[in-house]
């Protein structure tokens, strides 16, 4: 008698980590295991978060403006220049602070791409997550958003996709009408998202005389937030020298109050009187930049007063990322 062939069961193809979308920690894992996400594929995501890239935008044109748009500016866009030019059928690629419905990216009906910057990142490398989203957006069908997922660990970073010689020139907007070509005829969910975003946006203006400095208006007072690329310890020393000498302000009634730490760089913050506009602070900011350059060049040990000023500035730091 002929031998019976052993029965074989075809194995289902197992999804890779990159295929599993990111969901809430307590939600069922999208892989279908029946376990919660945090106990399944979320473990790898949690591990990746611990391997944090401290300066994800280092090496990109306009690193300090990348940090500003990620953490400080409500509504802004930047035209991006890709290495090798734009793919066929993609007329433009635009970085945006945030997109409707918090989409990571959107391929518009005309084929253009909007890439959102202010989104949760699923790994410790924001640049790699953005690059993965951008690549998928370039291949998405026109008229569709791109959903979040965990980027492959060996995937490219934005530094690999963008032209290092390309300009990075943010345009700050008063609202989010740039989301849609015709806001009055937008889909109801997009219109509602647009209304909420516009209501929450803080008026913000980018200074023209210095790099990566943004004036913003709040109900009680105005502020200047200035992202600086200098090494943190040296910058704190320089700010302390100026502060102790009474030369850290930006005019009458202004005060250097502390700093943010974000994505590996320092962001000094000034309080401004409500009457001080962005135009008013342009000249004082340029003059402060000259004083700061002199202070940064000094190698003299800090005096007792300067050490106290440095301690005060250090105690008033807030880490954003």
Q: How far lies 154's CA from each of 186, 200, 270, in Å?
A: 38, 37, 41
Are the beta carbons of 205 and 212 closer than 8 angstroms? no
pLDDT of res. 49: 45
**By CB neighbour count within 10 A (0-12 exposed, 13-18 middle, 19+ buried), where does 44 fall?**
middle
Do residues 29 and 35 make contact, with C-beta atoms less than 8 angstroms apart?
Answer: yes
The model's pLDDT over 160-183, given as tens digits with 9 standing for 90+, comes to 999 999 999 999 999 999 988 777
Q: What is the mean pLDDT of residues 182-206?
A: 86
Give residue for tokens 């289902």. Answer: 12
Residues 114-120, mean pLDDT to the nearest whole number: 95
User: What pLDDT does residue 136 have?
Assistant: 97
d(CA 319, CA 299): 27
Q: 243 CB contacts (<8 Å, ≥6 apart)? A: 256, 306, 309, 312, 313
Instruction: Give me the pLDDT at residue 17, please.
Output: 57
Can you give the pLDDT at residue 18?
A: 54
Q: What is the mean pLDDT of residues 88-103?
A: 95
Query: If pLDDT is split at 50, 70 and 90, which confidence band does 24 have?
Result: low
pLDDT given for residue 43 in this prediction: 64
User: Over the chain, what is the mean pLDDT?
Assistant: 90
Is-contact 252 275, C-beta < 8 A?
A: no
For residues 277 and 37, the model is more confident at 277
Which residues neighbour 211 within 8 Å (Cβ) at sequence distance 6 or greater? 64, 65
The band of 11, judged by pLDDT with boundaries at 50, 70 and 90, is very low
Q: What is the pTM of this model?
A: 0.83
- C-alpha 165/C-alpha 168 separation (Å) is 9
pLDDT band with cut points at 50, 70 and 90 for residue 76: very high
Q: Which of 11-20, 128-137, 227-236 has the lowest mean pLDDT?
A: 11-20
Q: How many other CB atoms are there within 10 angstroms of residue 313's CB atom? A: 22
Can you tell me the distance from the alpha carbon of 129 to that of 21, in angstroms, rounded to the nearest whole number? 13
The percent of residues above 90 in pLDDT, for the chain, comes to 72
Amino acid 14: pLDDT: 54
Is residue 3 over pLDDT 60? no
Asked if pLDDT for residue 262 goes beyond 80, the answer is yes
Angle at CA 166, nearest 5°, toward 165 and 172? 140
H-type alpha helices, the chain:
42-50, 63-71, 126-139, 158-161, 188-200, 232-244, 278-297, 304-315
pLDDT at position 194 over 90: no
pLDDT band at residue 45 using 50, 70 and 90 as cut-offs: low
Q: Is the pLDDT of residue 15 over 80?
A: no
Is pLDDT at 25 greater than 80 in this prediction? no
- Going by pLDDT thresholds of 50, 70 and 90, the confidence category of residue 23 is low
């Amino acid at each position: 008698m002929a031998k019976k062939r052993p029965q074989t069961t075809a194995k289902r193809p197992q999804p890779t980590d990159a295929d599993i979308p990111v969901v809430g920690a307590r939600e069922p894992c999208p892989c279908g295991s029946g376990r919660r996400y945090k106990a399944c594929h979320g473990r790898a995501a949690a591990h990746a978060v611990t391997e944090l890239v401290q300066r994800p935008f280092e090496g990109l044109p306009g690193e300090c403006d990348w940090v500003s748009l990620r953490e400080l500016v409500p509504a802004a866009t930047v035209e991006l220049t890709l290495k090798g030019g734009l793919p066929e059928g993609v007329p433009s690629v635009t970085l945006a602070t945030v997109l409707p419905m918090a989409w990571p990216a959107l391929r518009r009906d005309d084929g253009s791409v909007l890439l959102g910057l202010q989104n949760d990142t699923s790994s410790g490398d924001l640049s790699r997550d953005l690059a993965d989203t951008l690549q998928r957006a370039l291949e998405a069908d026109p008229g569709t958003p791109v959903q979040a997922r965990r980027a492959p660990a060996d995937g490219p970073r934005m530094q690999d996709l963008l032209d290092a010689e390309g300009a990075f020139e943010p345009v700050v907007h008063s609202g989010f009408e740039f989301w849609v070509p015709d806001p009055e005829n937008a889909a109801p969910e997009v219109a509602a998202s647009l209304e909420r975003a516009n209501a929450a946006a803080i008026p913000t203006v980018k200074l023209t005389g210095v790099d990566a400095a943004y004036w913003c208006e709040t109900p009680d007072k105005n502020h200047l937030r200035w992202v600086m690329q200098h090494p943190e310890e040296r910058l704190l020393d320089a700010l302390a020298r100026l502060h102790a000498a009474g030369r850290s302000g930006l005019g009458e009634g202004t005060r250097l109050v502390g700093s943010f730490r974000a994505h590996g760089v320092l962001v000094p913050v000034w309080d401004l009187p409500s009457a001080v506009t962005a135009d008013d602070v342009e000249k004082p900011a340029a003059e402060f930049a000259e004083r700061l350059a002199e202070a940064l060049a000094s190698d003299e040990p800090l005096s007792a007063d300067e050490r106290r000023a440095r301690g005060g500035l250090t105690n008033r730091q807030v880490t954003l990322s």
